[in-house]
């Protein structure tokens, strides 16, 4: 029901504005279940990305060492073949044996370097597969939660639409200059453009108001009285 004066009507407008503020905040307030699921999805994505980056580096090192191993084994085979053909004396035999020993040691060293890389690659591949499975299993749950949240937001927006219609109808009965200034103050003060006088104080900033200001606010007439401290319009409800 509308109040009897312009500030009564403006007070009703503000009540609807505050309801709209709550609905807007509600739209942004993601349910804990969805927020938790999104956080889990992000954790899985980050872990998967880290595993794939490390796996790429391990595979690069494996390819390099396998190439080195193949080259060394080829050199070893050719050196042994040359030994059979060209080592006609003890000195040549010793030289070939030293070369063969060096190449053999390099083969062993490279194979030993490859062994932990193979193990790490196997571990990372298993980790990647497990994380992909977790991501795949989580998708339907995320989808259902997202759908529920869309329905929730849709209901809030429909409720806001109805309130906004009521608000606009009420606001059309408020003097345009007063309404515009109220909206500016409300924006500056984060929600409240009109506050009640309670116990001689401004309920917006709790300042003790001069008696003359209280008396003018009590009339409820225009021009509306502002709090000398916070600049909000002052309103004294009719009892």
The fold of 31-171 is Helix Hairpins (1.10.287)
Q: What share of the chain is helix, strand, coil (3-state, %, to 5)?
A: 75, 5, 20
Question: What pLDDT score was predicted for residue 2?
Answer: 42
4 pLDDT tier (thresholds 50, 70, 90): low
> For residues 171 and 194, what is the distance between their CA atoms, to the nearest angstrom?
14
**pLDDT greater than 70 at residue 94:** yes
Q: Domain ranges in the chain?
A: 31-171, 176-235
239 pLDDT tier (thresholds 50, 70, 90): low
> For residues 122 and 1, what is the distance between their CA atoms, to the nearest angstrom?
73
Distances from the Cα of 167 to the Cαs of 12, 101, 125, 161, 215, in angstroms?
A: 8, 93, 60, 10, 29
Task: Please state, rounded to an integer, the average pLDDT across all residues of the chain.
Answer: 94
Task: Quote the percentage of the chain above a pLDDT of 70.
Answer: 98
Mean pLDDT across 95-123: 96
> For residues 105 and 99, what is the distance between their CA atoms, to the nearest angstrom?
10
The predicted-structure confidence for 27-75, as pLDDT tens digits, reads as follows 999 999 999 999 999 999 999 999 999 999 999 999 999 999 999 999 9
Residue bearing the bigger pLDDT, 2 or 163: 163
Beta strands in 46-193 (DSSP E): none
Structure-token pair, residue 69 = 């191993």
Residues 6+ away with beta carbon under 8 Å from 48 = 128, 131, 132, 135
Question: What pLDDT score was predicted for residue 76?
Answer: 95
Q: How many CA atoms lie within 13 A of 5 on its CB side?
A: 15
Mean pLDDT across 174-187: 95
- Predicted TM-score (pTM) of the model is 0.72
The predicted-structure confidence for 110-137, as pLDDT tens digits, reads as follows 999 999 999 999 999 999 999 999 999 9
**pLDDT greater than 50 at residue 1:** no
């Amino acid at each position: 029901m509308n109040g009897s004066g312009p500030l009564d009507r403006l007070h009703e407008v503000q009540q609807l504005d505050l309801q709209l503020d709550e609905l807007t905040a509600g739209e942004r307030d993601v349910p804990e279940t969805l927020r938790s699921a999104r956080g889990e999805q992000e954790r899985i994505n980050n872990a998967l990305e880290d595993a794939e980056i490390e796996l790429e580096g391990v595979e690069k090192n494996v390819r390099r060492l396998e190439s080195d191993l193949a080259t060394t084994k080829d050199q070893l085979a050719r050196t042994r073949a040359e030994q059979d053909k060209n080592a006609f004396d003890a000195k040549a035999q010793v030289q070939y044996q030293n070369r063969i020993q060096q190449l053999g040691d390099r083969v062993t060293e490279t194979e030993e370097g490859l062994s932990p890389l193979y193990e790490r690659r196997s571990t990372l591949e298993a980790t990647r597969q497990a994380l992909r499975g977790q991501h795949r299993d989580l998708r339907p749950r995320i989808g259902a939660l997202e759908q529920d949240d869309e329905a929730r937001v849709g209901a809030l927006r429909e409720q806001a639409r109805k309130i906004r219609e009521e608000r606009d109808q009420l606001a059309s009965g408020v003097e345009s200059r007063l309404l515009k200034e109220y909206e500016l103050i409300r924006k500056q003060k984060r929600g409240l453009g009109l506050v009640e006088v309670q116990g001689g104080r401004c309920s917006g900033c709790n300042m003790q108001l001069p008696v003359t200001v209280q008396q003018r606010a009590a009339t409820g007439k225009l021009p509306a009285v502002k709090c000398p401290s916070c600049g909000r319009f002052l309103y004294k409800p009719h009892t």
